[in-house]
Structure 1
Amino acid sequence: MSATTSRAGSGYLEAPFVALAHRGFSRAGLENSMAAFAAARDLGLRYVETDAHATSDGVAVALHDASLDRTTDAHGLVADLPWRTVRAARIGGTEPVPSLEDVLGTWPDLRVNVDVKSAAAAEPVARAIERTRAHDRVCVASFAASRREATVARLSRPVTVSGARGAVLGMFLAGRARTDALARLAARSVDCLQVPVRGGWVRVVDSGFVRAAHRAGVAVHAWTVNDRATMHRLLDLGVDGIVTDRADLLRDVLRARGLWA
């Protein structure tokens, strides 16, 4: 097995159900902060989702937006600023912006889904994974397959990988056409598909999509789901994971169904 593909070769997908805290858990809006990740862990979740941009001096930081403007008390594009400036910014005016290495290194029992947000972030993300030896507990994702591939190509060991837009579209079509050949093609070199419940007016995650993915040996994680009714419906469909801003609600739903370990 090469370092560029996992096909579930790491331990990331071992849990019976993947409950992913989207940017951690914070009712106060402190997304992607160490406090939010700690809060998710304190709730009992062992999976968190985060995003990665690169500073001008090549540090991967856990931040969703390309700029600091929306979530912090500072301004400017992360790519134009050195790490010393970015780390001085405060999320919600109180919490420092963490590096990806901070997140991976602080909680060795936490599994982290990393969405690589830019081509420049590929090498810094790989470096953070290597330095913390987090290969077995990381899933590398990106909307662009090129960014994901550039990241995992720099790793010394396999990691779990999530499919990009092309894989999701292929699996959607495979579910509609009920063709295993197309499903296998869409699933090539990926371990899971992280997909929105809907894309505009189109329901993406339905029984056909889940069935096609499972027949191809790929897990389905639906995002971003914040209400109980949709959580229950997705569980009835057989999804393997849910990404949510409401980790507390998801925990309660899983407990009620006997799925909370």
Structure 2
Amino acid sequence: MTPRHPYFDNGGRPIALAHRGFSLEGLENSMKAFQAAVDLGYRYLETDAHGTRDGVAVALHDETLDRTTDATGLVAERDWDSVKAARIGGVEPVPRLDDVLGTWPDARINIDVKGESGIRPVAEAIERTRSHDRVCVGSFSADRRRATLKLLSRPVATPASEREAIAWLVGTWVGADAHASLGDVDALQIPWRKGPVPFLFARQIEAAHAAGREVHVWTVNRRDHMVHLLDLGVDGLVSDRADILKEVLVARGQWA
């Protein structure tokens, strides 16, 4: 399958995405975690983004600083000077998205726009760093994704929202037109199961490929699950255990 966008060009091998970088120390979305993934040989990093009150895009999953840092409060209600003083796990600063994009210019970054506050700041960070060919911009909200893309001067890769992806999965069981129902997105990024119940099977992957779309699955941390999904033919895996995922892909001769 010919990639729809340069972001997906991985030499025909599955895309391995380091979820919020790689850290077994609770330092998710820190520059240290991203560097650890790069040091493992990862070409693809996954991160989340919010915007500060004064319009700075930061790499952070939660809308507040409470869970992952030694500070508290909503990111969208604090200025960057305040947010940059917070420490992830008490030790690592919260990075700007510009820093993530600029520090590793050869890395490809999957960005999940988590809140309304992040729409314009994320777009502006991509514009400043001219990262259009190496980012994939998505969101759990299709409206938020579209609003971000609308602000960009050039197209970027983009996945369906979770709701769109699950609606499409259901549609494959009732004979819906796979091409039409996927609209303008390039990929499906989905959990492969809810709790113990899987809802992603070879049939859906084949349908996505027939429609020219990739299938990336999150968040896959067990070795046996990785092997199972790769055997099904998924195009990418998002994992907290970048170390295990690399071992699996190396053993299969699929590490890029």
TM-score by length of 2: 0.95
For residue 160 of structure 1, give the secondary structure of its aligned residue in structure 2.
coil
2:138 maps to which of 120, 123, 141:
141
Deviation per CA, 1:52-86, whole angstroms, max 9, x where unpaired?
A: 01101111100000100100011111011000000
Q: Which residue of 2 aligns with 1:235?
A: 230
Deviation per CA, 1:194-216, whole angstroms, max 9, x where unpaired?
A: 10011245422211221111111
Uncovered stretches (5+) of structure 2, i.e. residues with no partner: none
For residue 51 of structure 1, give the secondary structure of its aligned residue in structure 2.
strand
Q: Is the CA contact (8 Å cut-off) linking 1:136 and 1:159 kept in structure 2?
A: yes
Q: Is the CA contact (8 Å cut-off) linking 2:223 and 2:245 kept in structure 1?
A: yes
Q: Which residue of 2 aligns with 1:153?
A: 150
Q: Is the CA contact (8 Å cut-off) linking 1:166 and 1:186 kept in structure 2?
A: no
Q: Which residue of 2 aligns with 1:104?
A: 101
Uncovered stretches (5+) of structure 1, i.e. residues with no partner: 1-6
For residue 177 of structure 2, give the secondary structure of its aligned residue in structure 1.
helix
For residue 6 of structure 2, give the secondary structure of its aligned residue in structure 1.
coil
Cα separation, 2, equivalents of 1:21 and 1:70? 20
Shift of 1:167: 2.5
For residue 115 of structure 1, give the secondary structure of its aligned residue in structure 2.
strand
Give 1:163's aligned amino acid.
Answer: A
Q: Which residue of 2 aligns with 1:226?
A: 221
Cα separation, 2, equivalents of 1:229 and 1:61? 34
Q: Which residue of 2 aligns with 1:28?
A: 25
Q: Which residue of 2 aligns with 1:3?
A: none
For residue 162 of structure 1, give the secondary structure of its aligned residue in structure 2.
coil
Q: Is the CA contact (8 Å cut-off) linking 1:213 and 1:219 kept in structure 2?
A: yes
Q: How does 1:194-233 map to 2 (within 5 A)?
A: 194-200=189-195, 202-233=197-228
Deviation per CA, 1:185-235, whole angstroms, max 9, x where unpaired?
A: 232101111100112454222112211111111100000000110000000
Cα separation, 1, equivalents of 2:5 and 2:128? 17
Q: Which residue of 2 aligns with 1:58?
A: 55
1:125 maps to which of 107, 115, 122:
122
Does 1:46 pair with 2:39?
no
Shift of 1:9: 4.8
Q: Which residue of 2 aligns with 1:250?
A: 245
Does 1:78 pair with 2:52?
no
Kindly tell me the number of residue pairs found equivalent between the two proteins: 253
Cα separation, 2, equivalents of 1:201 and 1:34? 33
Give 1:157's aligned amino acid.
Answer: R
Q: Which residue of 1 aligns with 2:86?
A: 89
Give 1:27's aligned amino acid.
Answer: L
Q: Is the CA contact (8 Å cut-off) linking 1:90 and 1:97 kept in structure 2?
A: yes
Which deviates more from structure 2 when the two are superposed, residues 206-215 or residues 142-151?
Answer: 206-215
Which deviates more from structure 2 when the two are superposed, residues 203-212 or residues 121-130?
Answer: 203-212
Q: Is the CA contact (8 Å cut-off) linking 1:161 and 1:192 kept in structure 2?
A: yes
Q: Is the CA contact (8 Å cut-off) linking 2:18 and 2:238 kept in structure 1?
A: yes
Percent sequence identity is 58
For residue 161 of structure 1, give the secondary structure of its aligned residue in structure 2.
coil
Cα separation, 2, equivalents of 1:25 and 1:259? 20
Q: Hey, which bits of structure 1, 4+ residues long, moved more than 4 A?
A: none
Distance 1:9 1:235, change over 3 A: closer
